[in-house]
């Protein structure tokens, strides 16, 4: 996993390709097209790119109107602003009528780093997953990003795709085929399952490798589609491995952990633990420092795996 690649750049370049294939694709920004990397598209198709200025609520409404008229709008900004700042606009103008708007936000999570709390989106997945009819995807690398964006472009309905700021190690190669609502088994294992999204997929793989050396055999799932979630893969993991740890760069409330817990509780209760940001905001710092401080490293995952395995084997004791 030496090679790293930018998810945002994959997004921008995929938009450019899609723009050539489909004249109905239009792109909206809110004064951040160089950060979201949609400028790849706007440079080639200036007539189909609309910078709405620093006015995200208006951008979301314009996107809804374009979609109602048959266009396929991709609207992008930072994840704190969409969905956070525009939740009601997304709810009323896009989700309720189920319009074909693609919201692709960048700079999700705390790996935004030095910009600090105001720019670290740690609630966006809870907000997006709460919207009836929305599809929510958190790609784990640049290759998955390109394919998820391509999938969103050709499938009707509202999408939220969350990307992070830093470039991430490539997990997939060009043979990968993104399937909506399908968890990808990155490692087979029988002792416990680590279910991860986004930035945390790499950490999950590292944790699995380290645990393997201790003789603990972990299954690793990339749960990139948060909604609709792959319930079958979660239930199978619970049945096959008897313990699950989730890992996400998001608050513990309302993200991957909550979703997995719901599916497990309803179908096949097993010990669970959640590697996520506890009920707090983060601070400025380098991404790696912040991941460490808020408990989002491979070591945190390993600790959690030890914990759930202990509960599993000592089930009479707790």
Partner 1 sequence: MEDVGDKLKVNARTKALSVTEMESMAKKLRRHIVTMIGKAGSGHPGGSLSAVEIVTTLYFRVLRHNPQDPQWPDRDRFILSKGHAAPVLYATLAECGYIPVDELSTLRQLNSRLQGHTDSTLTPGIEMSAGSLGQGLSFSLGVAIAARLNSQQHTVYVLLGDGECDEGQVWEAAMAAAHFKLDNLVAIVDRNQQQIDGWTCDVMELEPFSNKWQSFGWHVIEVDGHDFAQLIEAFERAKSVKGQPAVIIAHTTKGKGVSFMENNPDFHGKAPNAEQVELALKELQ
Residues that bind partner 1 (CB under 8 A): 26, 47-48, 50, 52-53, 55, 57-71, 73, 88-89, 91-93, 96-98
Buried b (16+ CB within 10 A) or exposed e, 53-82: eeebbebbbbbbebbeeebbbbbbbbbbbb
Q: Name the region of 178 (left: φ>0; alpha: ψ -120 to 50; beta: rest).
A: beta
In the complex with partner 1, the residue whose CB is nearer, 45 or 176, is 45
Q: Which tokens sit at 9? A: 């750049």
Task: Give the nearest distance from C-beta 48 to partner 1 in angstroms.
Answer: 7
Number of H helices, E strands in the chain: 12, 14
Greatest C-alpha distance within the chain? 66
In the complex with partner 1, the residue whose CB is nearer, 131 or 183, is 131
Catalytically active residues are 56
Q: CA 168, 195, 130: angle at the middle one, nearest 5? A: 90
* Secondary structure letter of residue 212 according to DSSP: H
In the complex with partner 1, the residue whose CB is nearer, 88 or 114, is 88
Task: Give the nearest distance from C-beta 303 to partner 1 in angstroms.
Answer: 44
In the complex with partner 1, the residue whose CB is nearer, 68 or 261, is 68
* Secondary structure letter of residue 95 according to DSSP: I
Task: Give the nearest distance from C-beta 86 to partner 1 in angstroms.
Answer: 9
Task: Give the nearest distance from C-beta 229 to partner 1 in angstroms.
Answer: 25
Q: Cα dihedral angle (293, 295, 299, 303), rounded to 10 degrees?
A: 140
């Amino acid at each position: 996993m030496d090679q790293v690649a930018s998810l945002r750049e994959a997004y921008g370049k995929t938009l450019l390709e899609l723009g050539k294939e489909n004249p109905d694709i239009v792109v909206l920004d809110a004064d951040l097209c160089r950060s979201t990397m949609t400028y790849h598209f706007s440079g080639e198709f200036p007539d189909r790119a609309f910078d709405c200025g620093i006015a995200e609520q208006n951008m979301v409404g314009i996107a809804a109107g374009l979609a109602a008229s048959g266009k396929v709008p991709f609207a992008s900004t930072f994840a704190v602003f969409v969905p956070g700042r525009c939740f009601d606009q997304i709810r009323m103008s896009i989700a309720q009528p189920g319009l074909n708007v693609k919201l692709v936000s960048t700079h999700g999570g705390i790996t935004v780093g030095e910009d600090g709390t105001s720019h670290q989106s740690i609630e966006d997945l809870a907000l997006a997953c709460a919207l009836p009819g929305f599809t929510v995807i958190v790609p784990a690398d640049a290759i998955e990003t390109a394919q998820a964006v391509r999938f969103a472009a050709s499938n009707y309905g509202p999408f939220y795709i969350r990307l992070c700021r830093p470039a991430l190690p490539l997990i997939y190669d060009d043979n990968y085929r993104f399937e909506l609502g399908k968890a990808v088994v990155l490692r087979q294992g029988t002792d416990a399952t680590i279910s991860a999204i986004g930035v945390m997929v790499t950490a999950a793989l590292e944790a699995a490798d380290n645990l393997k050396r201790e003789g603990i055999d972990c299954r690793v799932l990339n749960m990139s589609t948060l909604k609709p979630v792959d319930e079958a893969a979660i239930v199978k993991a619970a049945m096959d491995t008897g313990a699950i740890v989730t890992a996400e760069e998001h608050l513990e409330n309302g993200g991957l952990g909550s979703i997995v817990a719901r599916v497990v509780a309803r179908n096949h209760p097993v010990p669970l633990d959640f590697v996520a940001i506890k009920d707090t905001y983060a601070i400025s710092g380098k991404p790696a420092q912040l991941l460490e401080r808020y408990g989002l490293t491979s070591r945190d995952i390993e600790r959690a795996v030890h914990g759930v395995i202990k509960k599993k084997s000592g089930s009479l004791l707790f």
